Chains A and B, each alone.
Chain A
Amino acid sequence: MKLTLKIWRQKNSTDKGGFVTYVADHVSKDMSFLEMLDVLNDQLTERGVDPVHFDHDCREGICGMCSLYINGKPHGPLQTTTCQLHMRSFSDGETITIEPWRAKAFPVVKDLVVNRSAFDRIIQAGGYVSVNTGGAPDANEIPIPKNVADLAMDAAQCIGCGACVAACKNASAMLFTSAKISQLALLPQGQVERKTRAEKMVAQMDAEGFGACTNTGACEAECPKGISITNIARMNREYFSAVVSSDTM
Chain B
Amino acid sequence: MILDSKIPAGPLAEKWTNHKFSSKLVNPANKRKYDVIVVGTGLAGASAAASLAELGYIVKAFCFQDSPRRAHSIAAQGGINAAKNYQNDGDSIYRLFYDTIKGGDYRAREANVYRLAEVSVKIIDQCVAQGVPFAREYGGLLANRSFGGAQVSRTFYARGQTGQQLLLGAYSALSRQVANGKVKLYPRTEMMDLVVIDGHAKGIVTRNLITGAVETHAAHAVLLCTGGYGNVFFLSTNAMGSNVTAAWRAHKRGAFFANPCFTQIHPTCIPVSGDHQSKLTLMSESLRNDGRVWVPASQEIAEKLRKGQIKANDIKEEDRDYFLERNYPSFGNLVPRDVASRNAKYVCDQGLGVNETGEAVFLDFRYAITRDTREIIEQKYGNLFEMYKQITGEDPYEMPMMIYPAVHYTMGGLWVDYNLMTTVPGLYALGEANFSEHGANRLGASALMQGLADGYFVVPYTVGDYLAQLAPKQVDETHPEFARIKEEVQNRINMLLQINGTKPVDYFHRRLGKIMWNECGMARTIKGLKGAKAEIQALKKEFWSNVKVMATNEELNQSLEKANRVADFLELGELMVDDALHRNESCGGHFREEYQTPDGEALRDDENFAYVAAWKYLGEGQEEELVKEELVFENVKLTQRSYK
Interface residues of A (CB under 8 A from B): 11-12, 28, 30-32, 34-36, 38-39, 41-42, 45-46, 48-51, 53, 55-65, 78, 80, 84, 86, 88, 109-110, 113, 115-117, 119-120, 123-125, 127-140, 142-146, 149-150, 152-153, 156-157, 159-160, 183-184, 187, 189-190
What 8 A-B pairs have minimum CB-CB distances, sorted nearest first?
A: A143-B140, A128-B172, A136-B129, A136-B125, A139-B128, A153-B133, A45-B504, A133-B51
Closest CB-CB distance, B251 to chain A, in whole Å? 24
Interface contacts beyond A31-B276, A120-B68, A183-B131: sample of 13 additional A-B pairs, CB < 8 Å, sorted by A: A32-B278, A38-B278, A45-B548, A46-B502, A46-B504, A53-B558, A63-B70, A124-B179, A128-B131, A129-B130, A133-B457, A149-B140, A153-B135
From B158-166, B329-337, B600-608, the one touching the partner chain is B158-166
Which chain A residues border B456 with CB–CB below 8 Å?
133-134
Residue of B nearest to A143 (CB): B140
Q: Is the CB of B550 within 8 A of A50?
A: yes
CB contact under 8 A between A156 and B67, given known A62-B75, A140-B142: no
Please determine whether B141 and A46 come into contact, CB atoms closer than 8 angstroms.
no
Closest CB in chain B relative to A41 CB, distance in Å: 7
Instruction: Please encode chain B, from 98 to 139, with 1 for each CB lying within 8 Å of some chain A CB and 0 for all others.
Output: 000000000000000000000000101111111101111111
Cβ contact within 8 Å between B387 and A133: no
Contact of A143 among B68, B139, B281 (CB under 8 A): B139
Residues of B within 8 A of A137 (CB): 125, 129
Contacts of B504 in A (CB 8 A): 41-42, 45-46
Whether A58 and B72, one on each chain, are in contact in the complex, defined by CB atoms closer than 8 angstroms, is: yes
Cα distance, A136 to B279, chains bound together (Å):
39
Q: Which residues of B contact A184 (CB under 8 A)?
A: 131
Interface status of B506 (Cβ within 8 A of chain A): yes
Instruction: Compute how far the CA of A211 lies from the CA of B135 in the bound complex, rounded to whole angstroms.
Output: 35
B274 at the interface (CB under 8 A from A): yes
Contacts of B502 in A (CB 8 A): 46
Contact A153/B159 with A32-B278, A50-B551, A53-B558 known, Cβ cut-off 8 Å:
yes
Tell me whether A45 and B550 are in contact in the complex, defined as CB-CB below 8 angstroms, given that A62-B161, A86-B393, A124-B178 are known contacts: yes
Nearest chain A CB to B627's CB is how many angstroms away? Answer: 34
Which A residue sits closest to B176, measured CB to CB? A128
A88 to chain B, nearest CB (A): 6
B residues within 8 A CB of A144?
Answer: 136, 140
Chain B residues closer than 8 Å to A28, beta-carbon distance: 274, 276
- Would you mind naming 30 contact pairs between A and B with Cβ atoms under 8 Å apart? A31-B274, A31-B276, A35-B278, A39-B276, A42-B507, A46-B503, A46-B548, A50-B551, A57-B72, A58-B74, A59-B281, A60-B75, A61-B390, A63-B75, A86-B393, A120-B67, A123-B69, A123-B172, A124-B178, A129-B172, A131-B126, A134-B456, A134-B457, A139-B124, A139-B125, A139-B127, A149-B140, A160-B70, A184-B131, A187-B133
Q: Is the CB of B555 within 8 A of A117?
A: no
Chain B positions within 8 Å of A127 at CB level? 172, 175
User: B415-439 CB contact bits vs A (8 Å, 1 = yes)?
Assistant: 0000000000000000000000000
Of B131, B161, B274, the residue contacting A189 (CB under 8 A) is: B131
> By the criterion CB–CB under 8 Å, are A42 and B506 in contact?
yes
**1/0 per residue B485-509: CB within 8 Å of A?**
0000000000000000011101100
**Main SS at interface, chain A:** loop
CB A135 to nearest CB in B, in angstroms, measures: 8
B125, B185, B278: the one within 8 Å of A34 (CB) = B278
- Return chain B residues, CB-CB under 8 Å to A61: 387, 390
- Contact yes or no, A55 B66, CB < 8 A: yes
Contact residues in A for B13 (Cβ distance below 8 Å):
none
B124: which A residues are within 8 A, CB to CB?
139
With an 8 A cutoff between CB atoms, is B171 at the interface?
Answer: yes
What distance in Å separates the Cβ of B78 from its nearest Cβ neighbour in chain A?
Answer: 13
Question: In the docked arrangement, what's the CA distance between A117 and B176, Å?
Answer: 15
Q: Give the nearest-CB partner of B67 in chain A.
A: A120
Contact assessment for B159 and A123 in the assembled complex, using a CB-CB cutoff below 8 Å: no
A59: which of B69, B135, B279 is its contact (CB, 8 Å)? B279
User: Quick one: CB contact mask for B588-632 with A, threshold 8 Å, 1 for yes?
Assistant: 000000000000000000000000000000000000000000000
Across the interface, which residues of A come within 8 angstroms of B387, CB to CB? 60-61, 84
CA distance A123 to B167 in the complex (A): 14
Q: Which residues of A contact B185 (CB under 8 A)?
A: 120
Per a CB cutoff under 8 Å, which of B67, B126, B138 touches A134?
B126
Q: Which residues of chain A have C-beta atoms less than 8 A from B86's C-beta?
A: 140
Q: Give Cα distance in the complex from A62 to B69, angstroms.
A: 11
Q: How far is the CB of A178 from chain B (nearest CB, A)?
A: 15
Give Cα A30–Cα B172 distance, bound, in whole angstroms. 37
Contact A130 B276 (CB under 8 A): no
Question: Cα distance A159–B471 when bound, in Å?
Answer: 43
B141 touches A143 (CB 8 A): yes
Given A58-B75, A146-B137: A129 and B131 interface contact (C-beta under 8 Å): yes
Q: Check: B474 CB closer than 8 A to any chain A CB.
A: no
Asked if A128 and B173 make an inter-chain contact with CB atoms under 8 angstroms apart, the answer reads yes
Residue numbers in B under 8 Å from A140 (CB-CB): 84, 86, 141-142
Q: Which residues B504-525 have CB closer than 8 A to chain A?
A: 504, 506-507
Contacts of B158 in A (CB 8 A): 153, 156
CB <8 Å contact, B66 and A117: yes
Task: Report yes or no: B176 in contact with A124, Cβ–Cβ below 8 A.
Answer: yes
**A116 touches which of B67, B72, B140, B548 (Cβ 8 Å):** B67
Bound complex: CA A61 to CA B388 (Å): 12
Q: Do the beta carbons of B240 and A56 come within 8 Å of each other?
A: yes
B204 at the interface (CB under 8 A from A): no
A168 and B193 CA atoms in complex are apart in Å by: 42
Residue of A nearest to B158 (CB): A153
CB distance from A99 to the nearest CB of B (A): 17
Residues of B within 8 A of A57 (CB): 65, 70, 72, 239-241
Docked complex Cα distance between A246 and B138 (Å): 35
Say if the beta carbon of B9 comes within 8 Å of chain A: no
- With A53-B556, A127-B172: A189-B128 Cβ-Cβ less than 8 Å: yes
Greatest chain A CB density within 10 A among B50, B141, B172 is at B172
**Does B273 touch A at the CB level, under 8 Å?**
yes
Contact check, B122 vs A110: say whether CB atoms are below 8 A apart. Answer: no
**Given the contacts A58-B74, A59-B239, A149-B133, A139 and B142 also touching, CB distance less than 8 Å:** yes
Query: Is B164 within 8 A of A62, CB to CB?
Result: yes
Does A51 contact B559, Cβ atoms closer than 8 Å? yes
Return B632 CB to nearest CB of chain A, in Å.
31
CB pair B131 A157 closer than 8 Å? no
Would B457 and A146 count as touching, CB distance under 8 A?
no
Residue interface bits B176-201, CB-to-A below 8 A is 1, else 0: 10110000010100000000000000
Choice from B47, B84, B556 contacting A113 with Cβ under 8 Å: B556
Bound complex: CA of A117 vs CA of B185, how far in Å? 11
Q: Are B140 and A145 in contact (CB under 8 A)?
A: yes
Question: Roughly how many angstroms separate A16 CA and B274 CA in the complex, as a whole number?
Answer: 38
B360 nearest CB across to chain A (Å) = 14
Would you call B279 and A84 a contact (CB within 8 A)? no
A149 to B135, Cβ gap below 8 A? yes
Closest to B163 in A: A62
A182 to chain B, nearest CB (A): 11
Provide the bound-state CA to CA distance between A78 and B389, in Å.
13
Distance to closest chain A CB from B375 (angstroms): 14
In chain B, what residue has the closest Cβ to A37? B278
Closest Cβ neighbor of A160 among chain B residues: B69
| Cβ-closest chain A residue relative to B76 | A62
How long is the Cα–Cα vector from A143 to B51 in the complex, in angstroms?
A: 26
Is B278 within 8 A of A131, CB to CB?
Answer: no
Q: A42-B506, A46-B504 known; A160 and B75 CB under 8 Å?
A: no
Determine the distance from Cα of A171 to Cα of B129 in the docked complex, in whole angstroms. 33
Instruction: Judge whether B210 is part of the interface by a CB distance below 8 angstroms.
Output: yes
Cβ distance B90 to chain A, nearest Cβ, rounded Å: 18
Query: Does B277 interact with chain A (Cβ within 8 Å)?
Result: yes
